[in-house]
Copies of this chain bind each other. A is one copy, B any other.
Amino acid sequence: MSTIAENLKNLGVVLPQPPTPLASYVGFVRHGDLVFVSGQIPLKDGAITQTGLLGAGVSVEEGIAAAKICAINILAQVNIACEGDLERIVKCIKLGGFVASTPEFGDQPKVINGASDFIGQALGERGAHARAAVGVAALPSNVSVEVEAIFAVR
């Protein structure tokens, strides 16, 4: 079985330094073996990669790409919680996916699969998570996707 670090290398993903929260809170809180990760947005190299509503100009493919970046930022937070040793991840327990949507848009699950699939590829069996995906009116800085998470770690 490959390690999470090996999986990330095979996926061509380098975890970034976690983005600074836009507001007065922290990126994650650990309590016992649970890590609660703050809602992550599609922020890469300090720039937002995707804004706008699904169903009004943003394609499902663009939404999927944005959701993947959210998930990479989630894993970057968990990496800090694990002091850089990703093998201390026991499992991804839950993702909460928020998709900025018009009232007519119904493909939130496909969009949030961009996050879920990445977590599955990176964590293997440890990546099977519970999930809710909903379509919201708007998101911080008008990003298209936001994803929060709960992990278990050692």
Chain A residues close to B by CB (< 8 Å): 21-29, 31, 34, 36-39, 53, 55-56, 91, 93-96, 98, 100-110, 112-113, 116-117, 120, 128-143, 146, 148, 150, 152
* Closest B residue to A143 using CB positions: B106
Within the complex, the shortest CB–CB distance from A57 to chain B, in Å, comes to 11
Contact, CB under 8 Å: A100 / B98: no
Complex contacts, A107 vs chain B, CB 8 Å: 140
**A102-B138 Cα distance, complex, nearest whole Å:** 7
Residue among A100, A105, A138, A143 with the highest chain B CB neighbour number at 10 A: A138
A36-B93, A55-B138 given; name 12 further pairs at CB < 8 Å: A22-B109, A25-B95, A25-B131, A29-B94, A29-B128, A39-B132, A39-B133, A53-B103, A96-B132, A108-B139, A108-B140, A134-B136
* Closest B residue to A150 using CB positions: B36
Complex contacts, A110 vs chain B, CB 8 Å: 23
